[in-house]
């Protein structure tokens, strides 16, 4: 296996002295889909914020593509721009669909933007809505725009924070398919936070469980669901499956 894209060592995050995340070691492999599951408040979103370099860890080191990111450090812009996040609730700019999808490219002053935007809109099935104002979109359409806005950047890492939590089954399926395709065709590394264990099972190569900020277990998907090592994983999986 090649060098992991992320390597976390003794990474902790505290807010006002309260520790909400503490991970002794975690490696994210290049090109994998890693699902992060755990109850609400477990620190899943916090982990994604660290992985997108939106906040530094309180202690420990995150190594990304070989570059160290610690409590004091900042990540060079060019490296930070290889990662992006789609959040649970899409936050679109007060502009039309096309301008929203083009936004990240414009930040990078990228030429040939129009063709890329068009391709991304096609991928999410919204090419007909390019001129429509973001305000007028349904929840599912807005989330697809947010996904297109991230995909158009061809990130090395796509972080997804419960991207389908508020969506109807049709849009959930659509987004799952796009994410799989992206991972398959462009080897985009995906870290997917979800509270839906079925979704984790459908999409992920590996799954990890977070409880109260602690990494309980990370294993390939089959092992995680069928023969987990930790009893807490078993009860989490079962507990969730009962729902």
Partner 1 sequence: MEEIIQGFIEAVRLIASGDPGLVAIIVLSLRVSGIALLFSTMAGIPVGSLLGLSRFPGRKLVIALLYTGMGFPPVVVGLFVYLALSRNGPIGQIGWDALPALFTPGAMIVAQTIIAFPLVAGFTMAAVMGVDPNLRRQVRALGATRAQTVWTILSEARLGVVVSIIAGFGSIISEVGAVMLVGGNIEHRTRVLTTAIVLETRKGNFDLAMALGIILLALSFLANAAMLRLQGKTFDE
Ligand X SMILES: Nc1ncnc2c1ncn2[C@@H]1O[C@H](COP(=O)(O)OP(=O)(O)O)[C@@H](O)[C@H]1O
164 lies in the binding site for Mg ion (CB under 5 A) = no
The token duo for 32 is 């994998």
39-52 burial, b if ≥16 CB within 10 A, otherwise e? eeebbbbbbbbbbb
CB of 152 vs ligand X, minimal distance in Å:
26
C-alpha distances out from residue 89 to 68, 159, 162, 167, Å:
30, 14, 9, 10
Nearer to partner 1, 150 or 192 (CB): 150
17 lies in the binding site for ligand X (CB under 6 A) = no
CB-based contacts of 195: which residues, under 8 Å, 6+ apart?
A: 37, 38, 39, 40, 162, 165, 240
Q: Is 241 exposed, middle or buried (0-12, 13-18, 19+ CB in 10 A)?
A: exposed
Among 7, 22, 45, 98, which residue interacts with Mg ion (rule: CB under 5 A)?
A: 45
CB of 153 vs partner 1, minimal distance in Å:
7
Site for partner 1 in 134-153 (CB under 8 A): 149-150, 153
Here's the x/- map for partner 1, 74-93, by CB under 8 A: it reads as ---x--xx-xxx-x-x-x-x
Which residue in the block uniquely carries the two structure tokens 């992920």?
Answer: 204
Backbone phi, psi, residue 199, to 5°: -65, -45
Q: Classify the phi-psi angles of 236: left when phi > 0, otherwise alpha if psi is within -120 to 50, otherwise beta.
A: alpha
Size of the site for ligand X (CB under 6 A): 10
CB of 89 vs ligand X, minimal distance in Å:
13
**What is the DSSP code (8-state) at residue 4?**
P
Here's the x/- map for partner 1, 164-203, by CB under 8 A: it reads as ----------------------------------------
Which range in 39-47, 68-76, 152-160, 170-178 contacts ligand X by CB under 6 A? 39-47
Nearer to Mg ion, 37 or 124 (CB): 37
Q: How far is the C-alpha of 101 from the C-alpha of 213, rounded, in Å?
A: 34
Q: How far is the C-alpha of 221 from the C-alpha of 35, rounded, in Å?
A: 9
43 lies in the binding site for ligand X (CB under 6 A) = yes
Instruction: Give the bridge partners for 206, in sequence order.
Output: 34, 220
Which range in 48-56, 61-69, 171-179, 197-205 contacts partner 1 by CB under 8 A? 48-56
42 binds, among ligand X, Mg ion, partner 1, none (CB under 5 to 8 A by kind): ligand X
**Residues near partner 1 (CB under 8 A):** 49, 52, 54, 77, 80-81, 83-85, 87, 89, 91, 93-96, 98-99, 103-104, 107-108, 149-150, 153, 159
Task: Write out the residues near ligand X by the rule CB under 6 A.
Answer: 15, 20, 38, 40-46
């Amino acid at each position: 296996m090649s060098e992991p894209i992320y390597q976390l060592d003794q990474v902790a995050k505290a807010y006002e002295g309260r520790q909400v995340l503490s991970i002794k070691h975690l490696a994210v492999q290049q090109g994998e889909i890693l699902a992060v599951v755990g109850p609400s408040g477990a620190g899943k979103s916090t982990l994604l914020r660290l992985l997108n370099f939106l906040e530094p860890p309180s202690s420990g080191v995150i190594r990304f593509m070989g570059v160290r990111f610690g409590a004091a450090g900042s990540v060079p812009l060019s490296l930070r721009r290889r990662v992006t996040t789609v959040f649970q609730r899409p936050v679109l700019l007060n502009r039309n669909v096309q301008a929203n999808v083009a936004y990240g490219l414009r930040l990078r002053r990228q030429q040939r933007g129009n063709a890329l935007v068009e391709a991304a809109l096609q991928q999410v099935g919204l090419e007909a809505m390019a001129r429509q104002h973001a305000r007028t979109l349904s929840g599912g359409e807005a989330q697809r725009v947010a996904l297109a806005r991230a995909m158009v950047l061809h990130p090395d890492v796509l972080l997804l924070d419960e991207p389908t939590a508020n969506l109807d089954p049709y849009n959930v399926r659509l987004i799952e398919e796009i994410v799989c395709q992206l991972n398959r065709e462009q080897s985009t590394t995906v870290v997917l936070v979800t509270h839906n264990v079925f979704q984790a099972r459908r999409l992920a190569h590996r799954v990890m469980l977070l409880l109260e900020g602690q990494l309980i277990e990370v294993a390939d998907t089959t092992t995680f669901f069928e023969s987990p090592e930790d009893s807490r994983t078993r009860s989490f999986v079962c507990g969730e499956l009962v729902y």
